[in-house]
Homo-oligomer: A and B are copies of this chain.
Amino acid sequence: MSVEWWRRLRRGGPAEPPGGGRESVPRSPQPDPPRYRRPKFLRGGEESPRGGRAVRGTGPERPLPWGSGYAEVINAEKSEFNEDQAACCQISVRRREPSLEEDQEWLILCSTQFLTGYYWALFDGHGGPEAAIIASNYLHYCIKQKLEEAAGAIVEACPPMHLSGRCVCDSDPQFVEEKHIHAEDVVVGALENAFQECSVLALDFCQEAAVESSTLVHIALQSCLNPQDEVIGQEMEATNQTGGCTALAALYFQGKLYVANAGDSRAILVLKDTIVPMSSEFTPETERQRLQHLAFLFPKLLDGEFTRFEFPRRLKGDDVGQKVLYRDYFMEGWGYKLVEKADLKYPLVHGHGKQVLCSYIRFVWGQARLLGTLSVSRGLGDHQLKVIDTNIEVKPFLSCIPKVNIFDFGLHDIKEDDVLIMATDGLWDVLCNKEVAHMARSFLAENRTDPHRFSELAKSLVCRARGKKRGHQWMLDDSQEASYDDISVFVIPLHNRVEDC
């Protein structure tokens, strides 16, 4: 398993000779940072003027697979760029013959020689737009690559123990059956590995120094990266970018919908009579115990600056000597802890919910943060991110592992207005699943003859969450505060799906 294919794709040069030592491999020139852009399938040119926050969407001139709709709006001057990114394409997976070398031409994205999948993805960047752009450029390549590596197995109802199909033991099929391993498990494995690989790709843009800190940090760093690091490490280069992004990807493949999520975006299926959540959010709050446990195992990661304990509020001098409510890594409940001076340090996970306090242009985001820095706990990138004014790395606490949910179309009778809705947190911060489902059902019922109704619904959802400007504030219809964040929405009609893939 190497990502040679990607290096060649990016550089156009030959692959490095295998087996070369760290010293013997010549360094490639430093790559350029990716150019800022909006998704190619958006109608019109580049960004429109900031102040108005015009909602942009897909038009009939560039139809997306299945007639999907997409719309987006930039944040209310929270950051210079729209840090959300989106990708959507068909993925053609060709069976890879064991004898073929990697320099064969099997990387062409849209060949139709074998199995066809459909892919939609959203990336919500932070600390700059680069990581989200890299991920939107490459995650589908990683997925295609991982699916092709296992293509022979995916077409079997019960995948073979050996990819070659050779049966080393007569009872091998029985072992696979007893473990309940099905083709869909191999697709899930491909998605999990693709997220790992894409995170490693982002590392390729970063400085080698990022992993040359203390041994302890290095050990913990490995928990976020995969063993391929040893290969990748030889070529780590710098563009000095520190950003990261969340990743939410939907893949339709062989009659099933797979939704892989690492971060706080969300996907829901809005069916005629029910809403099916297809993802869970990964934030410092939902992953508190994992983060605290890592800090317990490797206390040096906190460098004496943070406490791993959770308290209802940040403690102060008057609390010392008192017994105060707290939680440690092993607790879902709460206990009382005798407060010591060390407990006054800033908490590893602090704040909760999403309290958006807004007063004229300037924002205070009160949501839960990891190390006072990040409001998500999973995603891609962030390899160089440090807590401001310290030498504390954030990356060891982050995970790029997605949770994958599966929806089997064979088990459901899909109706004409059934849709998959994917959106970044900009939508979900101000609208709940029920509100979004209600809007989708009403809108689609009222616009049944409009061929572009899925694009229009995406725009309508973005408009609703962005609200209207009243003075200096963006407000929802009910006078609640609207979303000041970047907002991106896909609406994917399930009834239009191409069944023959």
Query: A residues within 8 Å of B by Cβ?
Result: 1, 146, 149-150, 153, 159, 161-164, 166, 168-169, 171-172, 175-176, 178-179, 181, 184-193, 196, 219-220, 222-223, 226, 293, 296-297, 312-313, 316, 318-319, 322-325, 327, 330-336, 338, 352-353, 401, 403-404
Contact = CB atoms under 8 A, between A and B. Distances in A.
Nearest first, the 4 A-B pairs at minimum CB distance are A188-B333, A189-B333, A163-B323, A189-B335
A256 to B, nearest CB: 12
A355 to B, nearest CB: 9
B181 A325 contact: yes
Contact of A162 (B146, B176, B188, B324): B324
A322 B188 contact: no
B335 A193 contact: yes
A146 B334 CA distance: 12
Contact of A335 (B171, B190, B319): B190
A333 B186 contact: yes
Contacts of A1: 338
B313 A162 contact: no
Contacts of A319: 162, 168
A331 B192 CA distance: 6
A190 B333 contact: yes
Contacts of A332: 185, 188, 192, 403-404
Nearest to A150: B336
Contacts of A296: 222-223
A116 B149 CA distance: 62
Nearest to A153: B336
15 contacts: A150-B335, A163-B322, A168-B316, A178-B312, A178-B353, A186-B334, A186-B336, A187-B333, A189-B327, A189-B333, A192-B330, A192-B332, A193-B331, A222-B296, A222-B297
A66 to B, nearest CB: 25
Contacts of A325: 153, 159, 161, 176, 181, 186
A313 B172 contact: yes
Q: Which of A159, A189, A220 has the most CB of B within 10 A?
A: A189
A473 B181 CA distance: 33
Given A159-B325, A162-B319, 9 more contacts: A150-B335, A172-B313, A179-B312, A185-B332, A188-B331, A189-B333, A192-B330, A222-B296, A333-B404
Contact of A336 (B163, B169, B171, B322): B163
B330 A196 contact: yes
Contacts of A193: 331, 335
Contact of A334 (B172, B181, B223, B330): B181
A330 B176 contact: no
A153 B326 CA distance: 13
A476 B153 CA distance: 40
A88 to B, nearest CB: 23
Given A153-B336, A192-B332, A335-B190, A352 B322 contact: no
Contacts of A403: 332
Contacts of A150: 335-336
